[in-house]
Amino acid sequence: MSPYDSEPADRLVTAAADGEDQAVEAALRPKLLDEFIGQERVREQLSLVLQAARRRGSAPDHVLLSGPPGLGKTTLSMIIAAELGAPIRITSGPAIQHAGDLAAILSSLAEGEVLFLDEIHRMSRPAEEMLYMAMEDFRVDVIVGKGPGATAIPLELPPFTLVGATTRAGLLPPPLRDRFGFTGHMEFYAPAELQRVVHRSAALLDVEIDPAGAAEIAGRSRGTPRIANRLLRRVRDYAQVRHDGVVTAEIAGRALEVYEVDARGLDRLDRAVLGALLRLFGGGPVGLSTLAVAVGEEAETVEEVAEPFLVREGLLARTPRGRIATAAAWQHLGLVPPDRAGRGAVPAQPELFAPGGPRSPEN
């Protein structure tokens, strides 16, 4: 390969851009509970847990944070460490494939340290079983040797606080879930809360934004602060390049139109899924894999990236016979269901949707 080949350069540019985005996101994270916006109930409960631990002079109970991505689970873990004045160690479930990996991390913890374990539901079973004893008794058994001569050496651990984060709490086995002293479930944000998030982030980024501009961004952010901050940065770019740098509702709307985020927060993939479901399949029902092929994506991408938001917005429903569009979906895309549409909205293969006709067996 030539040293001037563009592929390695492209990878370097992508890695640098990702690193820059991560640095900006880290700068926007609140550092203390009082600075954290939203999640009032979880914040109040967590504050009581931390204050009581500080008064006792001991490590607080282990904490489990669950909820969809982008709502602040990692930020809260860092806040827990900051409020306790303790160091934090960050790792993730997929990174711990063997019990030895976990033993190495646990044995190096200092007293009172916070261990943040992201995607804890993806940890391997042997490591999970070792974690039971570590959480409950602050001890792990290290196996030395193999076969009949193997010996278990108990290793005492200093008191520490495990903060686990998961987007799929139902995948956690009950023995692990029950060892957490506090469980907080993160909810999607209301538009007013997201507006406060946008205003705070705009001040940190030195972006001039009016209330209407913040409301426009908040309304397209899917109830998620991470998305709100990302959209704010893209709107900032548009405002600085094509206007005077001030973000108004009109400027935010134009910018997000360029980035293919519509007034309801749907992006290109969301609209492609809905468009295929309505135009090609007459609103369904249609199987997941068939729908994914129609939009040129993997079935897992459609199911895990697009569908949760479309279902939450009441635009799509999952049924035993497949995915179906709701009346709101037809209205959002400005289409009329086939039974009232005439020629313009007849499905590409109407025989698939005739009464008694064949249906996709996929779910």
User: Nearest CA to 235 among 269, 210, 268?
Assistant: 210
From the centroid of its chain, how far is CA 133?
Answer: 29
Q: Exactly one of 74, 75, 166, 224 is catalytic; which is it?
A: 74
Q: Exactly one of 118, 177, 290, 323 is catalytic; which is it?
A: 118
> For this structure, is 206 an active site residue?
no
> For this structure, is 340 an active site residue?
no
How many C-beta atoms lie closer than 10 Å to residue 60's C-beta?
A: 24
Instruction: Identify whether residues 180 and 199 lie together within a single domain.
Output: no
Residue that finishes a domain, picked among 131, 160, 185: 185
pLDDT at 73: 92
Residue 277: give the domain boundaries. 268-353
Crossing angle of helices 249-258/211-219, nearest 10°?
Answer: 30
> For this structure, is 226 an active site residue?
yes
pLDDT at 136: 87
Q: Exactly one of 179, 220, 222, 226 is catalytic; which is it?
A: 226
Q: Exactly one of 161, 166, 167, 224 is catalytic; which is it?
A: 167
pLDDT at 219: 92
Residue 325 lies in a domain: yes
CATH of the domain at 312: 1.10.10.10
pLDDT at 116: 95
> For this structure, is 161 an active site residue?
no
Which residues lie closer than 8 Å to 156 by C-beta, 6 or more apart?
138, 139
pLDDT at 345: 46
Residues of the chain with pLDDT under 50: 1-17, 341-363
How many C-beta atoms lie closer than 10 Å to residue 54's C-beta?
A: 13
Structural domain count of the chain: 3
What CA–CA distance (Å, rounded) separates 82 from 73? Answer: 14
Q: Which two tokens stand for residue 279?
A: 């135009």
> For this structure, is 167 an active site residue?
yes
